[in-house]
Structure 1
Amino acid sequence: MPANSSASLALASRLRTLDDQQLETLLSAREVRDSGIRDFFDLADALLERASIQSALGRLDRPTLAVIATVSELPAPTAADVAAALPRSADVAALLSAAVELALIDTHAGRYSAYEPVHDLLHDWPSLGLPSSAALVTEAPPSTLDTVVQDDLVAIDRASADRAFATTGALAALLSELAREPARPLVRGGLGLPDLKRLGEAMRVPLDDVTALHGIAERAELIELEAEGWLPTADAGDWMLRSSVDRWGVLVEAWHSHLTPDIRRLLDERAHSRWSDSLLDYVAWLYPAGRDWMRDRVHVYSRDAELLGIAAHDTPSTPGKELLTGDAQAAVRAMAALFPAEVDRVYVQHDLSVISPGPLAPRLDARLRAIADVESRSLAASYRITQGSLTRGLASGETEESIRALLTEMSLTGIPQPLDYLIAETAARYGALRVGAIVADTDPGDADYGARSYVRSDDTHLLGMLAVDQSLSALSLVRSGEHRLVSRFDQDVVFWGLSEARYPVAAEDAAGQPITLRRRSATRSKPVPPSDAVSLVEKLRIGTKSEPKETGQAWLARQLDVAVRAKLTVTVTVRMPDGRDVDYLLEPTAIAGGRLRARDRRADLERTLPLSHITAVTPAGA
């Protein structure tokens, strides 16, 4: 039995009184794992382990630590006693409640006490290079904030707008690329190098920024992980059609709403000053036992703030200040004044390139991306139309007529003759390959292949190319006739595989009529598995649900067993024959034959009590 058995007994008793939600909150906050925990005594021991306590203290700010340290140094203080011992004003009641909820201190009848292992660890902190209990209370924060002058703010706003515009454009490219081909995660999390490179090339950003931009898109619920990999969500389509500044508004509101309370408080307090070294110094003071952990978190949020133009050069921009102080709409208005004006006309050139003299309106950009490849993305973006990009557009539902209408609407230079020929030729060639679904009842001849889809064409030479194309080997295409190949994969898998390989493929229904297939977007409807905390609470409840509600004999026996082995003094409540409850201060020595033997500390004599008459066991002094 651990040396802190008395604390374990007291904590186990309190844990048993918590409801499921309180337990789940505690287990999640303390990051308790299921392994080896069978009951509330095991849970109490796990929570009072030195490493677990240190981990919990490392995530607390100095005001909370000061309250816990004060409780550990004073004899059973009240909230008023704790407040009187602190030199700086704080919401002591809230901090005490938070510490109780984290199972770092206990409360009884309006008084507080620190669990012995918590007191011992805080006492040892100076030897670990951490502040003493006195230093936690008295040490002042670092010096004043570094304010920003107006001249510097002009340059900061310009830089932040450039970065914000670039990020919204990069995320549009990310969504387009993931709609074309999902990105598969690694088993250990994150994206593999091939996908990182592919997405980085599509977004025209350094490889180091891909993961951060991917995280921004996930936070804004524009992408989600499905069985196929990372895909755009249904909300992504609406986002793509918004103006650039409205796109930015969605991203920064998601960033701000996902800030944890401690990070939000840190950044909000510094909405009008530089972050950089002064922020890191303050973090080191505020989180003395978790400075490295907290610095990493601040770095992630401040890095994303720079990408989004909330800050530039470690300083909040004008739109960033509005966001940090809680006015997202004012932030959007401020950024709108900094963003370049959008255009709705382009130059279509004879070399099949398309030049936008400014940021293209998102509605037109989305349509143009469907039939052209993006070559460069900046204030003046360039696109290139190829046979492959036109085929992709036709496969996504565009027609020769809709493509001509779009280019006529957008082009300041009309449709050059080389492009006119290419559109006509591609449209005529499109559908030379047809992909359809095989229905077993109507296609019995394909049953031997286990086929689920077919590819047909009048061009036997083109079908022969498909059959020997090694880049299509994953589709398992097998000849089943002169004009037909079959595959064991579904129609959409084969269709998109051929489309990505730049073949002139069209999908058709059972009647042979062309249909448009859409890539499936993430649905966000997957069932959420129970968390470790929920599973552990269920396990603890299963272990106690069969106990009688009033006495819980198994629970009482376990408490007494702990007291015997640890030689603890406990208060035992006994129901007398006349119905009275009598409390004895006992040191249990043995349990046998349904009876408890114990030393009565007040009367200084041995007592033997029937277990069936014991109604409660509590730690001495509780």
Structure 2
Amino acid sequence: MVTMAATSLADWLCSASDDLLTNLLCARRDLATPPPADSAVLATRASTAGSIARACERLDAATLAVLETLLVAGADTEPVHGARVAELAGEDITVQLDRLRVLALVWGDDEGLRVPPAAREVFGPFPAGLGTSCPDLSASDLPGTLAQVGEDERALLDVLAKGPPIGRTRDAAAEVTDPSAATPVRRLLARGLLLRRDEATVELPREVGIALRGGRVIEDGKLREPPLPVTRRERSTVDQAAAGEAMEFVRLLESLLMLWSQQPSPVLKAGGLGTRELKRVAKELDADEERAALLVELAVGAGLAAASEETTAEWLPTTLADSWLAAPPAGRWLTIARAWLELPRLPGLAGTRDPRDKALAPLSEELRRPQAPTARRRVLQALSELPEGAGVDDVEALVALLAWRAPRWGGRLRDEMVRWAMAEATAIGVVALGSVPAATTQLLAGEQHAAASAMAEAMPKPVDHVLVQADLTVVAPGPLEPELATEIAAVADVESAGHATMYRVGEASVRRALDSGRTAAELHELFRTRSATPVPQSLSYLIDDVARRHGRLRGGTAASFLRCDDEVLIAEVLGSGVADEYELRKIAPTVLVSPYPLAEVLQGLRAAGFAPAAEGPDGRIVDLRPSGKRIAARGRPARRGAAEPTGVSAEQLNAVIAHIRTGDKAARSRRGTVVRLPGGGGADTSATLALLAKATREQREVWIGFVDSHGTAAQRVITPVRVGGGILEGSDNERYPLHRITSAALVED
């Protein structure tokens, strides 16, 4: 840590250690791109209002309060002693000052603390909720004056002391000098405890506000993190509760994919899923609309469903859905949990209204929020810090804790994102009973296989039997083995789902099983071998009765037909090679059918020497020749939100710091050494080349000014190794194009 006094941020950074610069560039990643030419450029960037605002987004309420206290003390205009800041804060602020120094939001030792002047722009005209200073009040007996005010006046002062210190009132219209005026505002104005700003505005002076706060700027308790009440439970209880929620969510998502397979939902013209369709999905899945919105968002977010690219777009399952459905339950949960963690959208916004009072639709672009993954990880990280098995009972306490940890992050949806994340995580099984189960702990650590294994361990073991009852219901006493679940779902309909799923066998469900190719004997065998209870006669009679009537009337598919009154010509076509190639089949003495399109069949017949013609529904001849080439319509590109900034690698940080140190060396050399160019004045091209050639021969250091690839002017001190081919090569292996060098000078010893 740098402890020496510094007159400017640039000087302080120039004398800082490499570790401090590394921590600074890691914490404030916007300062490293493009690499600063020297410490002066780094200090300039760090002192801009935009960069300061970004740095403050990750500060907790205590550190922000200390920074505001520094502004109240005037550290943005002149050095302030640390003892004075600690006095105003009312507590020890060493930890907060160290944190602010790491971020270069404060520099200097405790005898002369400074903050960037632009910090006042970030916090506004009233940092810490205090008004502007009135030096005359410092010399007056302020405590004695406050003791003389009445209760109504004190109540008004206490409100303004909490901030903001501005109040609007009609009593400010006239100048008042009588302490016994009719209204509290006028009496306070007369005593000088309020200042008149204009005809309708009064302001509480800073000195009065501090006095009313007991001589402190920061409210009592604001420097300490709020408590988070928790309840201790056994880890196994948490894991089992999470597994139960995970299995239910997986089941609902399976049902959604099956629903969209059979009855796809249309895509709105503006993108997304319409309100009516969301209600339909919720009704079919027997879930509320919030759960339905989360399901459709995660189905698309995980790649299990997508919008088709047809003229009338629909939401349909993708090919990934088949492999997901074939995976074990724990593997399916892992896919959902990962998709939720990485989803840059807020499903909780579905159904809310935008500033134009338009309802926001699920799957629409308006739900995209790049901050969403960070918000979810903040919630899970806070829960992971709790003792094992401890869970949060009150979500609002968690909201308050995370708001204290980062008051300026997240915007207006900061607190809502915490509530939505807790509700969604609980629904998915990522959180249970307000606690993080073992599977989620592994997932956050990046151990995906361990996460799936932990969830599989917590899930109930699959059962290999069902209970068939006399009323034709089939009870699954737990999650069925995949093969058994498929067979039961083929012959029975789900009546109620949960830990024990109830199915019902009916005429329609038996017919569905027979339609899929199963026989009556196979259905009898299924219930005989898999039922832990005797199979009722009513079920056997039902299967036999449906099977006796099934398939008596049959149908097939055909893409085209051929008809001809001449049976001899029909026989000739069947005897040709075209019949085998296009799978022609006779269904009547004068009619042939084929599964191939009519245009292909006619083309094959013509190639074989026949002269067929195409006819329409009315029997007239139609022309099937294509009218021209077509290409698939290109979809409108989706709008994307700004991605979270990526981290900076150790190699990149070392390169940036080396770049800054080199620039600092060049700046010091230029200031502290007599710099001469051949001929005395400014250098032209020939003089510059002559100077560089001389420095190369004599192996002397040379100062160069140049413009880098980002268009930024920079300076370096190097020892030239070679000049030629339009390139100056230094001993540090750096290469400088000659056309970018603006000036050069020998560095004198």
TM-score (norm 2): 0.44
Identify the residue that residue 218 of structure 1 maps to in structure 2: 300
Superimposed CA distance per residue, residues 136-176 of structure 1 (whole angstroms, 9 cap, x where no aligned partner): xxx8562465555245x565445333322221222222222
Letter in structure 1 aligned against 2:252: A
Identify the residue that residue 383 of structure 1 maps to in structure 2: 503
Letter in structure 2 aligned against 1:237: D
Q: Residues 198-213 of structure 1 correspond to what in structure 2 (within 5 A)?
A: 198-213=280-295
CA contact (8 A) 1:372 1:383 kept: yes
Q: What displacement does 1:130 show?
A: 7.8
- Is 2:377 aligned against 1:264? yes
Superimposed CA distance per residue, residues 513-545 of structure 1 (whole angstroms, 9 cap, x where no aligned partner): xxxxxxxxxxxxx999587799xxxxxxxxxxx
Letter in structure 1 aligned against 2:319: A
Change (3 A) 1:97 1:332: closer
CA contact (8 A) 1:79 1:93 kept: no
CA contact (8 A) 1:182 1:231 kept: yes
Q: What displacement does 1:406 show?
A: 4.0
1:359 to 479, 482, 485: 479
Q: What displacement does 1:379 show?
A: 1.9
Q: What displacement does 1:352 show?
A: 4.0
Give 4+ residue runs of structure 1 displaced > 6 Å after superposition: 82-86, 128-132, 530-534, 614-618
Identify the residue that residue 26 of structure 2 maps to in structure 1: 94
Change (3 A) 1:80 1:370: farther
Change (3 A) 1:116 1:256: closer
Identify the residue that residue 141 of structure 2 maps to in structure 1: none
Change (3 A) 1:98 1:577: closer
Q: Aligned partners of 1:366, 1:443: CA distance in 2, in Å?
A: 43
CA contact (8 A) 2:379 2:422 kept: no
Q: Which has the larger radius of gyration?
A: 2
Q: Residues 496-535 of structure 1 correspond to what in structure 2 (within 5 A)?
A: none
Identify the residue that residue 727 of structure 2 maps to in structure 1: none
CA contact (8 A) 1:348 1:355 kept: yes
CA contact (8 A) 1:223 1:230 kept: yes
Identify the residue that residue 654 of structure 2 maps to in structure 1: none
Q: Aligned partners of 2:335, 2:640: CA distance in 1, in Å?
A: 32
Letter in structure 2 aligned against 1:232: P
Q: Aligned partners of 1:382, 1:261: CA distance in 2, in Å?
A: 40
1:127 to 124, 127, 131: 124
2:332 to 247, 251, 254: 247
Q: Aligned partners of 1:422, 1:405: CA distance in 2, in Å?
A: 16
- Is 2:453 aligned against 1:370? no
Identify the residue that residue 312 of structure 1 maps to in structure 2: 432
- Is 2:227 aligned against 1:107? no
Q: Aligned partners of 2:378, 2:688: CA distance in 1, in Å?
A: 54
Identify the residue that residue 234 of structure 1 maps to in structure 2: 319
Identify the residue that residue 184 of structure 1 maps to in structure 2: 266
Superimposed CA distance per residue, residues 66-101 of structure 1 (whole angstroms, 9 cap, x where no aligned partner): xxxxxxx93476376599999xxx932222334444
Q: What displacement does 1:328 show?
A: 4.1
Unaligned runs of 5+ in 2: 1-7, 53-116, 130-216, 344-371, 566-586, 589-615, 620-633, 643-681, 692-702, 706-738, 744-749
Q: Aligned partners of 2:400, 2:686: CA distance in 1, in Å?
A: 67
Q: Aligned partners of 1:617, 1:386: CA distance in 2, in Å?
A: 89
Identify the residue that residue 408 of structure 2 maps to in structure 1: 289
Change (3 A) 1:528 1:371: farther
Superimposed CA distance per residue, residues 554-600 of structure 1 (whole angstroms, 9 cap, x where no aligned partner): xxxxxxxxxxxxxxxxxxxx9946464999x9xxxxxxxxxxxxxxx
Change (3 A) 1:241 1:96: closer
Q: Aligned partners of 2:559, 2:331: CA distance in 1, in Å?
A: 41
Q: Aligned partners of 1:385, 1:532: CA distance in 2, in Å?
A: 48
Q: Aligned partners of 1:204, 1:182: CA distance in 2, in Å?
A: 17
Q: Residues 345-356 of structure 1 correspond to what in structure 2 (within 5 A)?
A: 345-349=465-469, 351-356=471-476
1:142 to 225, 228, 239: 225
Unaligned runs of 5+ in 1: 1-72, 446-456, 459-478, 483-525, 535-573, 586-613
Q: Aligned partners of 2:24, 2:281: CA distance in 1, in Å?
A: 49
CA contact (8 A) 1:164 1:307 kept: yes
CA contact (8 A) 1:222 1:236 kept: yes
Q: Secondary structure, in 3 states, of the residue corresponding to 1:231?
A: strand
Letter in structure 1 aligned against 2:316: L
Change (3 A) 1:116 1:438: same
Question: Cα RMSD over matched residues?
Answer: 5.0
Q: What displacement does 1:375 show?
A: 1.3
CA contact (8 A) 1:164 1:308 kept: yes
Letter in structure 2 aligned against 1:252: A
CA contact (8 A) 2:476 2:500 kept: yes
Identify the residue that residue 592 of structure 1 maps to in structure 2: none
1:74 to 5, 9, 14: 9
Change (3 A) 1:617 1:393: farther
Letter in structure 1 aligned against 2:290: D
Q: Aligned partners of 1:84, 1:140: CA distance in 2, in Å?
A: 27
Q: Aligned partners of 1:145, 1:293: CA distance in 2, in Å?
A: 21
Change (3 A) 1:202 1:345: farther
Identify the residue that residue 417 of structure 1 maps to in structure 2: 540
Q: Residues 439-478 of structure 1 correspond to what in structure 2 (within 5 A)?
A: 442=562
Q: Aligned partners of 1:532, 1:239: CA distance in 2, in Å?
A: 27
